[in-house]
Amino acid sequence: MQTRPVADPDFQKMLSGFSLTTAKIHYRMPDHPSFLQTFLWQFTDIAPDYPRLMRFLDHWRREVEAAIHSVEVMHRGLIAPHEIRMVTDLGKLH
């Protein structure tokens, strides 16, 4: 009996639209409102709606005492065409 190779689940997610996302959340704690702190989180999500990030931010607003000042979102598709250069000459090494 021959088994079929199964694609990696993370690769299947990439094919369905997930891509690498980095969220940089600036926040202030209630006991030190003059300090702006940073939380950096990297995960896979679907741009441009970012449902996973939105769930996380909703959870933060409900459950965490720190007030969000701003959120920066960086996004990069993991599957993209790459530059290919053909080699036209091969040298000889003695």
The whole-angstrom separation of Cα 69 and Cα 24 is 11
Q: Considering the domain boundaries, does residue 83 fall inside one?
A: no
pLDDT number for residue 84: 54
Q: Considering the domain boundaries, does residue 63 fall inside one?
A: yes
Burial zone of 62 (CB within 10 Å; 0-12 exposed, 13-18 middle, 19+ buried): exposed
Q: Which structural domain, as residue segments, surrounds residue 39? A: 10-76
* pTM, to two decimals: 0.72
pLDDT number for residue 85: 61
CB 19 within 8 A of CB 45: yes
pLDDT number for residue 7: 76
pLDDT of 93 above 80? no
CB 52 within 8 A of CB 43: yes
Query: For the segment 46-86, what is each residue's pLDDT rounded down to a tens digit?
Result: 988 999 999 999 999 999 999 999 999 998 776 665 555 66
Number of neighbouring beta carbons within 10 Å of residue 18? 20
Q: Considering the domain boundaries, does residue 88 fall inside one?
A: no
The whole-angstrom separation of Cα 73 and Cα 82 is 23
Work out the pLDDT band at 28, boundaries 50, 70, 90: very high
Q: Considering the domain boundaries, does residue 85 fall inside one?
A: no
